[in-house]
Every structure is written in structure tokens, then in C-alpha cells.
Amino acid sequence: MKHYELPKQNLWTGRISNKWLYLHEKVHCTPLKELPEAQKKSIALLGYACDEGVRRNQGRIGAAEGPDVIKSSFAKMPNHLGSNVRLHDVGSIICDEGDMEAAQNQLTEAVNLLLERKQFPIVLGGGHDVAYGHYNGIKKYLDFKKEGQTIGIINFDAHFDLRKNTEQSNSGTPFYQIAKDCEKEGVDFNYLCLGIRKDANDRNLFQTARDLDVIYVMNDTFQIPLLNEITTWINAFAKNVDFVYVTIDLDGFSSAYAPGVSAASPMGFTPHMVLECLKTIIGSGKLISMDIAEMNPKYDIDGQTAKLAASLVHHVAHAVSGG
């Protein structure tokens, strides 16, 4: 399969217990095409090893190495998943010769396949252009125009990523592309951004957000003291859609927690705030898939960002499976 790399067993190492106490002892490295339809709860980790969109967006490249580093960090963590829960590493989508669009198309097919086989997909990036391929995979699976099902996107991010792709698509354009596709198809564009910063988006982007009826929460409001209000907004957003797709851009976190990203800033939000919001989203029962974007090992310090990403995966995997 072009633009695809098989899972790497050597990423899954750690403390040996012989009692499935650690996730590297729990995981099954399973090529995509060999993945069976799940008969019980099952989680599939899929890499998106592409930072071509970051390069096009004039960012710091290196995020193509992100998926393997997150998997390696996740492997060493304790396993609290029930014996009835399966965990698969299904490999990574890769970007050959800068062909980001082909990688996104392959990601669309892979996400659709995972959902068809009753997996809960967790996609690990890679640049935030992951969102366009990921969303289209969910859309293909649901065929929501025919069935009338709606998808709501919740993006934890400092940036809107609503840049217009008038020249070339990149890591800053995915949600604008989705909005334009929704417009062509005559369906609503349901997009909630949490953690938006004024120092990270120009006024044209704010105007685009207003034009597209984007719901957003500024970073100075996205704080624990206002958690009750944020929870109310999340619940109201989730109530109006059939399914929720969550995307977490690691550069939205303060660089105190996430130095290893393509666009680091000390002014970002905290992990605790995101975890509290994830509890609300998962509690809605509508979360269909999620991804983590912009992990850049080249700029990480002592593996902090990789551990943060792995901890987010750990939390979601256990929460959606009841573990």
C-alpha cells in the first residue's frame, strides 16, 4: 500500500511484568489490511508521519517523526485497560516526495477502514493537516449527507487553522477546506475552537471565523476558574451534532508543558484544562475519533511533549473503553 508503513514492533518496549501491567505488553502490531472487525471494545493507533504541511506553512519541520515517538512513550505507561479491550498499532500513513494530498487521501481511506471495522481511531501526527484527511475519513464512513448525520469538530488549539488555501493547502488550512466542502455539499460546518490566542491569529483569520460562524473560546477564558461555563458550551455544542471529532494541537499548550512542537509559545493552556474538557466530551457519548497534531521531537526537552501526548492518549483510550 503506497503512503503506508507497517507497525514497528521495536517501538513497543518497556518494563517487563508478564502480567500485561504495561501497554507494550498489551498492544498488537497489526497491519491495516489484516485488522479484523472488532468483536469487543478495540482501539487502533494510527500514525500520520507528515510535516509537509508545516513546511508549506513556514513552520519548523520535524513533526513527521512525531507518531513513533508518541507510541514509544505510550508503550512504557501502565495498562489499566480491561481484558475485554483490544489495543492495536496499525502503523503509519507516510508522506512520499512531499505529496501531502496523497497522504491525506490515504489517511481518509485508513480512518474509514478503522471505523468500518469497529475500531476507535486515535491518529498521531504529524502536522495539523492531519485534520483534513481524518475528517474526510469520518465523513466517508458516515456518508452524512445521505443519512443526515452531523459531525462536530472540537479543536484544542491556539490557532484557528482557517487560512485560505488559494495557493497550496498546508497545516494552517484544514478547517477552511472542510468549511468550503461543507458549503459545496449544503451541510453545516460545526466547529468549536478552545484556546484561541489573539497573538497567534491575524485579524483576517478572526474575520474568517466570524464569517463561517465558528464558535471559539479565547485562551484567557479557557481557564479552570471558568470550567463550568466552558463545560456548558461544550455540552451545548455536542447536543447539536450526532458525532464529535476531537483534534488536539500540541502547540496550543504552554511551552512549559509542550516545548516539542512546530510553533511553541509560553502563553498556551494547561493539560489539566484539556483533560477536564475531554471528560465532558467523552461523557456526551458522541466521540467517534480523535487525533493529536504537531508533535515535533526535534525540539522536545527530556521527552516532555511526547509524554504529554502519550498521557492524553492514555486518558482517552481508558475513558472510551471504560478502563
Alpha-carbon distance 196 to 214, whole Å?
12
Q: Is 302 annotated as a binding residue?
A: no
Residue-wise DSSP of 52-121: HHHHHTT----GGGHHHHHHHHHHTSB----TT-EEEEEEEEE--TT-HHHHHHHHHHHHHHHHHTT-EE
Q: Is 159 annotated as a binding residue?
A: yes
Q: Is 291 annotated as a binding residue?
A: no
Q: Is the pLDDT of residue 320 over 90?
A: yes
pLDDT in tens, 18-47: 899 999 999 999 999 999 999 889 999 999
The pLDDT value recorded for residue 154 is 99
pLDDT in tens, 238-279: 999 999 999 999 999 999 999 999 899 999 999 999 999 999
Q: Is the peptide bond before 252 cis (omega within 30 degrees of 0)?
A: no
Q: In the CATH scheme, what is the code of domain 4-321?
A: 3.40.800.10
Q: 60, exposed or middle or buried, with CB in 10 Å at 0-12, 13-18, 19+? A: middle
Q: Is the pLDDT of residue 145 over 80?
A: no
Q: Is 220 annotated as a binding residue?
A: no
pTM: 0.97
Label residue 323 by pLDDT band (50, 70, 90): low
pLDDT in tens, 162-185: 999 988 999 999 999 999 999 999
Q: Is 199 annotated as a binding residue?
A: no
Q: Is 251 annotated as a binding residue?
A: yes
